[in-house]
Structure 1
Amino acid sequence: MHDHSIAELPSLRRQKILLLLERDGKVMASELSQHFAVSEDTIRRDLAELDNAGLVQRVHGGALPRPKDSGKDYFTRLDETDEVKVRLAQLAAQHIKDGQIVLFDSGSTTLQVARSLPAEIRITAVTASPLTAIALSEYKGVKVILAGGELNPHSMSASGQEALRLLAGIKADLAITGVCAIHPEVGITSLHFDEVPIKQAMLNGATQVIAVTTADKLGAVEPFVVAPCTRLHRLITELHLGSGSVEDYRRLGIVVEQLPD
């Protein structure tokens, strides 16, 4: 049965989604679309808003209840980086060599890569993330260039024309990026529109691009497209995937490196 009466009232529809989530333990966008007689795009926007408000946890195709500790701030979450992200970061750090100019994207996984570099490494590092810049400044042999501008509260990195202008003037050997979502056909996507130009500038400014991501981001799609998968040269991820196959990415010419058991 369709609830047509509330289809045009987003706030009521979102409240009803929360009730369904509490009842069922998980909601799927396709089923919610039929239930409320609205498009899946509309439902995805609903789930994005609920996620931003800390009320649900988005997953591929739908949403789960938020973990009980979801009220923790950005800095607390960074300090609780899980073991998988640490191991992924250590793999990625092995690809960074002396003498390179390296672009570091924002995000907790990329920050962990910055923390995992060899102690004596000598590189020039460029980032729009103040937290990553601070981590990189701990290395005596690392020259840090920090792109400035308005601080984006979602990514805790600089955005806007000043940051883009600096990034556009740099030709790097390597870019290290995390991804909000990556799908073999749709490409690399982001939940936040204002992050897209900075991420695009990073990907376009490097000869080689390495993406580091946990398995739950593979096959996922967010609303805003950053770049096709073919912009990546190497994908570093987990050995065991919840769904899908890394072969989809290998067929695109991407080198896929997975954590050992």
Structure 2
Amino acid sequence: MRVQDRQSRIVAEIRAHEKATVEHLADLLGASRETIRRDLTELENQGKVQKFHGGAMLPRGFGEGAFQQRMGENVAAKVQIAKTAANLFKPGETLFVDTGSTTLYFAEQLAGVKGLNIITNSTDIAQVISARGNSYAYLLGGSFGYDNRQTVGSLTVAQIEGFRAHHAVLTVGALDAVAGAADFDLEESQVAKAMIGRAGSVTVLADHSKFGAMASFGVCALEGIDRLVCDLAPPADLGRALGAAGAEVVITEGSE
């Protein structure tokens, strides 16, 4: 197993259970305890975990409350979506990336790509990108939310207007054949709309739990989506609507 893949699985396991022992991780991944200890040291240096004697846990202040819960949901699907999506972008491009559990997994994969400009309202995403030193991270200011560790509001939207990006990479709360993409939070939907307005193309990252869900605040119609990266094929009605809207559907490798 590659070092990056092993460390991604370590982070996912700790996020799902809030902490894990060296012994458990070694057995889970078929690696030596010394290898796991080295991995945990490197992950701590990147700010992804906090070590304690015999294991590691989430960093203090990271992903508490509802956001931490979302980080532990559909982890395998989100990681696979993140890996697939990260291969769709190339050095020299500028990306808007909004706050979300799937986009945070995406940022961890994207951190290995050199020469990108990442504009985000997520402090965690900015930290992940800047920690590797391969790309530039630009953190948008605004009203700060502790749970999601993000900035939102009129100041954030105004700063987005000062940028132009090749792509907007967004996670959404719901994706529907009629209503399109939507979010559960008004201010998050406003940030997403602003990013769409200043980007050349829009890529949505969504696991299958978002298909047919209902969220109150619209982000964009299906015609506004250039590409959907998902873990499973959308239901027939949504698939037809995406095709009619001209959206490319990218299903992760190994999915049916």
Using structure 1 for the length normalisation, give the TM-score.
Answer: 0.67
CA distance in 1, matches of 2:71, 2:230: 21
- Is the 1:121–1:139 contact (alpha carbons within 8 Å) kept by the matching residues of 2? no
Aligned-partner Cα distance in 1 for 2:204–2:131: 23
Aligned pairs for 1:182-261 within 5 A: 182-240=175-233, 244-259=237-252, 260-261=254-255
Could you tell me whether the CA contact under 8 Å between 1:176 and 1:209 is conserved in 2?
A: yes
CA apart distance, 1:162: 1.7
In structure 2, the residue matched to 1:106 is 99
How much does 1:139 deviate? 2.4
Amino acid at match of 1:192: D
| 2:81 is the counterpart of 1:88 | yes
Q: Is the 8 A contact 2:94 2:116 kept in 1?
A: yes
- Is 1:77 paired with 2:69? yes
Take 1:95 and 1:240, find their aligned partners in 2: how far apart are those partners? Answer: 18
Matches for 1:16-27 after TM superposition, within 5 Å: none
Partner-residue secondary structure (3-state), 1:126: strand
1:23-69, CA deviations, whole angstroms, 9 ceiling, x for partnerless residues? xxxxxxxxxxxxxxxxxxxxxxxxxxxxxxxxxxxxxxxxxxxxxxx
Normalising by structure 2, report the TM-score: 0.68
Which consecutive aligned stretches of 4+ in structure 1 deviate over 4 angstroms post-superposition? 240-245
Higher helix fraction (1 or 2): 2
CA–CA distance in 2 between the matches of 1:120 and 1:240?
27
Q: Does 1:119 align with 2:112?
A: yes
- What code does the residue aligned with 1:258 have? I
Q: Does the CA contact (< 8 Å) of 1:84 and 1:214 recur in 2?
A: yes
SS in 1 for 2:209: helix
3-state DSSP class of the match of 2:214?
A: coil
Question: Where does the alignment leave 5 or more consecutive residues of structure 1 unmatched?
Answer: 1-71
Q: 1:161 to 1:118 in 2, by over 3 A?
A: closer
Alignment of 1:35-46 (within 5 A): none
User: Quick one: percent identity of the two aligned structures?
Assistant: 24
RMSD: 2.1
Q: Which amino acid aligns with 2:134?
A: G
* Amino acid across the alignment from 1:210: T
1:138 to 117, 127, 131: 131
**1:146-188 CA distances to partner (integer Å, 9 max, x unpaired)?**
0011113564310122211110111100111111011122121
